[in-house]
Amino acid sequence: MSGNGAHLLYRLDNLPNDEEHTTLIQNCIAVIGARFSDKAVDVDRKVFNASRLCKLYGTLVRKGDNVPDRPYRRSRLDIPAVLPEPASLDQLRWLSRQTAEPARVAVPRSATQVTAGRRLALRVPAYLAAAGLSEGADYRIKRKKGTTWYNLRLCPVHADPHPNFECGICQGDDGAMGAKCQHDSTKTWRDFKVALGDPARFYDGGDSVRSEPTAVPFESSDDLSVPNQLENGHPGSREIDLDELLAFARCPTEHLWRFKAKTSPPITGEGLVQDITRMGLLRFYEGVAPSRLEGVQSRWREQLEAWEIAPAFKTLDTYTRLHMQILLPFLKGDIKKPNGEPYHAPHLTDAYQKLYEQKGLLKLRAEIDRLATGIPVVLGDESLADLFASTIETALRFQQPAPPEVIGVQEPFNVLLPNGWTLTGHATLALHADDEDKAILEIWDWSPTSSTWQILRRDLRVVAALHAQSDKWPGGVDRVRVRYLRTGEAVDVFGRIVLPWSQTLLVTACQAMQEASVGVPRLAVSSVQCRGCPYWTECMSDAGWNVLGAVNR
């Protein structure tokens, strides 16, 4: 017994402490957690790695306050008379594969649905935004050992008026929710939900999330594609998430992975660059960071601290400064081709490579690669040094819009469709238009080249934004601006050129997603695009296709 909980200790058969076997143990614990967690018991899925502190059995556990329902208790170790044989490698592998086999699981204490062996995750930022809280001003995000913490400026469950970011809610990588009040240890996630509001509509999968524990067939899709019913109860009304619609439009299999199988792909280098850059720049527009550059840098510091390699920031910063010194002569045109034309790919030139070596960047890059060993990012041939430099270059290039123009950040909106459905989405930035009742909605794009407005007016993101409704722009949307972060270019699509069939396009896309019963992965036709998809490894594995078979109905 661990005090107010229990530990189950299993002997292992001399497994090496490496990435392969750590992942194996993690998968085994995930299966056990999905099978046996319920309203009364929650299996801790984070205890899979070797570097774990354990209770000194026989000592008094004094964590938190000594309260009637969780008093201080003495930990103890119950050892059977005959020790069981160590769990073999074959047994562990068998257990880890059970996520793809039919079984019955129960909703864990956090009241999230479990489908295909995975919890439906609460979209915490959207949930907090609905409660009137914004990142930076009202809460801070911190990543620590498989858990994302949202530390609140003011605790919603106790009366302390002092803003200190001490209390907050957390979400594990498996979707499990928790909470901690530093002033009252009896407060739980249930109390925070009461204070912040019902989170049911912010779970992936919408109204398939139930507030009471229930068992569901592991192999059942449980109509996960059916969106929330609107509060007015209109029989034909549905609420559809624009992000889900875009995923289906890109690739039906991506939609299956993300919104039916509830699988989060591993973080790729490209995904990391986009996340760091977007969150860092938005901190500037939220007024949290004094400049765009410092917003991106602060986001990097938090990420490196979460990976427990905070000292790497200094080396990364030095690498980037030297790298910019090399690039500037090429960008300014001081170094050109023999025919006088500028270099479009300076890093491929002999002059660049020579300067790169002379300034010691090879050595710095090797040091950064050493520090980054073991971080949970699929880097491939990329280096963390180049990813860091890429985000800094974008922040330095990103000069528009000016903060006074901004109405809101990650601004939510609704689109009322002719068939009674509602499409919900958000604009990266909402800006003031010349007409004070109208808005300019900005969408950030990561494509390497920009598109023309003739093409963009048929883009689902743009069409939805042009029809966006919000109390913050009662006169409608003046234009949608697609900003390409890689190049700094921006293309405006004006509301006056919205075609009559644009809402029909949205309705048709939504109906296609709702009615789709079979998705054939592009991988089956050897699509080159698949190789850049974060779900590539899932689609390539036999276990992955078994999971898709369980939800692809």
What is the average pLDDT across 350-374? 87
User: What pLDDT is recorded for position 480?
Assistant: 92
376 in the same domain as 277: yes
Burial of 1 (0-12, 13-18, 19+ CB in 10 A): middle
pLDDT of residue 413: 92
Give pLDDT, residue 539: 67
273-308 tens-digit pLDDT: 999 999 999 999 988 899 999 999 999 999 999 899
Statement to judge: residues 23 and 79 lie in one domain? yes
Domain co-membership, 388 together with 413: no
The pLDDT value given to residue 209: 34
pLDDT tens column, 177-233: 888 877 766 677 877 887 787 787 787 654 433 332 222 222 222 332 333 333 333
* pLDDT, the chain, mean: 76
- Over residues 295-352, the pLDDT tens digits come to 999 999 999 998 999 999 999 999 999 988 888 888 777 888 888 887 777 777 888 8
More confident residue, 411 or 236: 411
Is the same domain home to 341 and 393? Answer: yes
Q: What angle do CA 505, 509, 510 make, to 5 degrees?
A: 120
Q: How many CB atoms lie within 10 A of CB 346?
A: 17
The string of pLDDT tens digits covering residues 59-94 is 887 765 565 556 777 888 887 777 778 888 888 888
The answer, yes or no, to whether residue 357 has pLDDT greater than 50, is yes
What pLDDT was estimated at residue 113?
36
Share of the chain above pLDDT 70, in %: 77
pLDDT value of residue 222: 31
The Cβ-side half-sphere exposure at 539, using a 13 Å CA radius, reads: 25
Q: What is the mean pLDDT of residues 470-489?
A: 88
Of 511, 505, 417, give the one whose Cα is nearest residue 463.
505
Q: Is residue 260 pLDDT above 50, yes or no?
A: yes
On whether both 461 and 436 belong to a single domain, the answer is: yes
Residues 411 and 507 in one domain: yes
Given this model, what pLDDT does residue 482 score? 92
pLDDT of residue 488: 79
Q: What is the dihedral of CA 317, 319, 325, 327, to 10 degrees?
A: -110
* Whether 253 contacts 519, CB under 8 Å: yes
Nearest-angstrom CA–CA distance, 190 and 109? 9
pLDDT tens digits along 86-98: 888 888 888 877 6
Looking at the structure of the chain, the number of domains it has is: 4
Please tell me whether the peptide bond between 86 and the residue prior to it is cis, using omega within 30 degrees of 0: no
Residue-by-residue DSSP string for 287-303: TSSSSHHHHHHHHHHHH
Residue 5 inside a domain? The answer is no
pLDDT at 186: 66
pLDDT of residue 162: 53
The average pLDDT across 156-167 equals 68
CB contact set of 514 (below 8 Å; sequence gap of 6+): 225, 226, 227, 238
Q: Sign of dihedral through CA atoms 152, 187, 43, 217? A: negative
pLDDT score of 465 more than 70: yes
Q: Is residue 163 part of a domain?
A: yes
Query: What is the span of the domain harbouring residue 407?
Result: 403-511
User: Do 361 and 289 share a domain, yes or no?
Assistant: yes
Q: Judge whether 103 and 218 are in contact, CB under 8 Å.
A: yes
pLDDT at 524 over 60: no
The answer to whether residue 228 is domain-embedded is: no
Bridging pattern class, strands 439-445 and 118-119: unpaired
Range name among 134-143, 165-174, 424-433, 512-521 with the lowest pLDDT average? 512-521
Least confident of 150-159, 356-365, 387-396, 427-436: 150-159
pLDDT at position 299: 93
Answer yes or no: is 340 within a domain.
Answer: yes
Same domain, 96 and 148: no
Query: Given this model, what pLDDT does residue 316 score?
Result: 93
Q: How many helices (H) and strands (E) does the chain have?
A: 17, 18
Q: For strand 377-378 and strand 139-144, is the pairing parallel, antiparallel, or unpaired? A: unpaired
In a domain, 341, yes or no: yes
Provide the pLDDT confidence category of residue 430 given band limits of 50, 70 and 90: very high
Per cent of the chain over pLDDT 90 is 14
473 and 421 together in one domain: yes
This prediction has a pTM of 0.53
What H or E segment, with its residue span, contains residue 528? none
Per-residue pLDDT at 21 exceeds 50 = yes
| Contact between 96 and 32 (Cβ < 8 Å) | no
- How many angstroms separate the CA atoms of 349 and 549, rounded? 49
Q: At 99, is the secondary structure helix, strand, or coil?
A: helix
Q: Is 235 inside any structural domain?
A: no
Last residue of a domain, one of 354, 372, 397: 397
Average pLDDT over residues 32-44: 75
Say if residue 337 is in the same domain as residue 407: no
Residues paired with 323 in a beta bridge: none
- Phi, psi of 382, rounded to the nearest 5 degrees: -80, 160
Residue where a domain terminates, one of 369, 397, 425: 397
In this prediction, residues 451-456 reach a mean pLDDT of 76
Residues 450 and 473 in one domain: yes
> Is 7 part of any domain?
no
Q: How confident is the model at residue 234 (pLDDT cuts 50, 70, 90)?
A: very low
pLDDT, mean of residues 519-537:
56
Read off the pLDDT band of 549 (50, 70, 90): low
The answer as to whether 224 is a domain residue is no
Which of 397, 431, 446 lies at the terminal end of a domain, its last residue? Answer: 397
Same domain, 295 and 367: yes
Residues 6+ apart with CB under 8 A from 228: 201, 206, 207, 238, 239
